[in-house]
Structure 1
């Protein structure tokens, strides 16, 4: 004997089933909507992070432009060189050369900091710069200036790498292309 469900009862079960499915859809729709909102929020955070990094790089570049502008004025006007340089006992021409060497080093450092040069490319350019006698004199005369730079900073790590290059270059000037181990002092 087959059990039959009266039509009224069947319609109530059907209605309950439809209502239950509707609730489940709404629940999952809210879950889907929430996941989508979280995805959008994460994407916005990633974009904000990229914009923040880009603004930081733009600020570094702007600050470097201001520094270079001041250096150019100092190089052009010897009376300003006395106000901006702490190095003493230099002729006007030698001071200009050392200021220019500082500008070259700063330019390479900036290129690395904004992502134009990776660590190995930076070291390659610095190896060549270290071969220059004017830069070597600049580096030697400004050793005291670099002592206040934190060793863990980008500039501190780059300075330490240049110190190693200068020492190794002094030991064997004919092997300048292998000065410093590859990746030595590479920032993490």
Structure 2
């Protein structure tokens, strides 16, 4: 009987030790899982912050550009330094600079997520009906050729080109959005 008690105690001790080891292993596993979850949450927050900083930088850069355009519109002597368009009256140059600012504002709104693709196309469709914008778009076609083809700006420019073609072909029916100008932009 004494041998039996001794064996039972040894087995009991081994079971207790095994349970302790199992609890420790599970606790380490739980801690590790918790650390991984915290790390993933931090990485997601970092990704969101990085995107917000990118948007803030876009907005700041646009503010600087608009400030320069405002100075150019207000002071015709600066217009010659900032515009590559020739044979324009002072008034026409101001109009084209303003059309550029309108387009840039819509493009920025899309790039920072303030308006989606379909909303952007709607605003651009209205803008395309404006004669000054149409002239701006025609006169700056060469400028857009240097934009990388895979950029958001190139995608938006291609959509505006299609809208302008549709408007020129059929001014009465062009408002009906066809499949060519409604595709989603690249991610």
TM-score bin (small chain): over 0.9
Q: TM-score, normalised by structure 1?
A: 0.95
Q: TM-score, normalised by structure 2?
A: 0.95
Partner of 1:128: 126
1:86 is paired with a residue of what secondary structure? Answer: coil
Partner of 2:145: 147
Q: Quick one: distance in 2 between partners of 1:90 and 1:5?
A: 111
Over residues 97-149 of structure 1, what are the superposed CA-to-partner deviations in whole Å (9 max), with x where a residue is unaligned?
A: 00000000000000000001100000000000000000000000000000000
Shift in Å, 1:150: 1.1
Structure 1: 5+ residue runs without aligned partners? none
Alignment of 1:38 with 2:7, yes or no, is no
Structure 2: 5+ residue runs without aligned partners? none
Runs of 4+ in structure 1 displaced over 6 angstroms?
A: none
Over residues 146-177 of structure 1, what are the superposed CA-to-partner deviations in whole Å (9 max), with x where a residue is unaligned?
A: 00001110000000000000011001112232
Partner of 2:182: 183
Alignment of 1:50 with 2:48, yes or no, is yes
Partner of 1:59: 57
Shift in Å, 1:4: 8.5
Q: CA RMSD in A?
A: 1.5
Over residues 36-87 of structure 1, what are the superposed CA-to-partner deviations in whole Å (9 max), with x where a residue is unaligned?
A: 1111111110010000000000000000000000000000000010100000
The count of residues paired between Structure 1 and Structure 2 equals: 186
Out of 6, 9, 12, which is 1:11 matched to? 9
1:186 is paired with a residue of what secondary structure? Answer: coil
CA 1:58–1:98 in structure 2 vs 1: closer, same or farther (change >3 Å)?
A: same
Q: Quick one: distance in 1 between partners of 2:159 and 2:33?
A: 47
